[in-house]
Amino acid sequence: MSMPIINVGLVGARGHTGAELMRLIGGHPRFSLGFVSSREFAGQRVADHHDGVVGELRYQSSTPDNVATAGMDAYILAMPNNKAGEYIAALDAAGTNPVIVDLSADYRFDADWYYGLPELTRKGYDGQRRISNPGCYATAMQLVLAPMLDVLDGPAQCFGVSGYSGAGTTPSDRNDPVILRDNLMPYALAGHIHEREVSHRLGHPVEFMPHVAPHFRGITMTANMHLQRVFSRDEVVARYRERYADEPLVRIVDDAPWVSAIAGRHHVDIGGFALSADGRRLVAVATEDNLLKGAATQAMQNLNRAFALPELAGIPV
């Protein structure tokens, strides 16, 4: 007996993350892409713009009314910050109660929404149909800090470097390959939204310094942690291996991971564990693909859980 198809709508499909989501949904055993919106491409065939999509599905206008009347079982909102509210209001007014996964920061501080970083918040999922997807930087920061959270002494410092795809598709200095060539661009060095997000979620102060580099995709996150007591390197590594022993999308490695090795992959690498001579300062490095585990892959984990499917269904591990 075949299982029923779950229809998924994607709002804001033009961006890099939208393209990854279409590929993942297209390869999923139960999900079907039933609605795709884009102001720029409205009326055009999705297959003409994305190799992973077949058939006659066409882009629809991105108005809240169009989204609310599409009749999908689930929606992924892949839009810039401060845009989701009008779509949520329209869906509420329609009274259909679909599963909603929002990729923006709009609901990451809202206690009525489930914050979907499964490796750390899975036990808090209890059938919620409103899911806030963590930020890409915030995912890497939380995963690299969490195993040491109970022994941190003072704020943790995180130095992040992202490929320019993280700046989206709207033209700016931070996604212009010509400007970024042979360059490293610091920005928002205090008070970045992901700094506040991680500090809020972990309940511990984090100081975050983001940078954009000339590569297209992938994040390197170097975390500097002062510790309440002396640790050996073996004890630190054991903590990380124990914490993530049953997590296929978090891999503990010995050497510092390279961002080039994570591009196109769905997991996070954590390694490069280095201790100061007195054993009370730890530096560790996490790498992830910002478009995948930092966005699209995590959205699929959350959708799978919302429909009581295996969490990694449709995710090539």
φ, ψ for residue 233, nearest 5 deg: -65, -40
Annotation says 136 is catalytic: yes
CATH architecture of the domain 6-134+295-306 equals 3-Layer(aba) Sandwich (3.40)
The domain limits of the chain are 6-134+295-306, 136-290
Helical (H) or strand (E) element with 227: none
Predicted confidence at residue 266, as pLDDT, reads: 98
Predicted confidence at residue 237, as pLDDT, reads: 98
Is the CB of residue 275 less than 8 Å from the CB of residue 249? no
CA dist., res. 226 & res. 158, Å (int): 12
**Partners of residue 251 on adjacent β-strands:** 269
Predicted confidence at residue 1, as pLDDT, reads: 55
Identify the active-site residue in 117, 136, 256, 295: 136
Predicted confidence at residue 179, as pLDDT, reads: 82
> CATH for 136-290?
3.30.360.10
Q: Could you count the other beta carbons within 10 Å of the beta carbon of residue 164?
A: 23
CA dist., res. 130 & res. 108, Å (int): 11
Is the CB of residue 208 less than 8 Å from the CB of residue 199? no
Which parts of the chain register pLDDT below 70? 1, 14, 52, 54, 167, 169-171
Predicted confidence at residue 210, as pLDDT, reads: 97
Predicted confidence at residue 176, as pLDDT, reads: 79
Helical (H) or strand (E) element with 270: strand 268-275
CA dist., res. 15 & res. 104, Å (int): 13
Predicted confidence at residue 15, as pLDDT, reads: 81
Q: What angle do CA 209, 210, 216 make, to 5 degrees?
A: 160
Predicted confidence at residue 169, as pLDDT, reads: 63
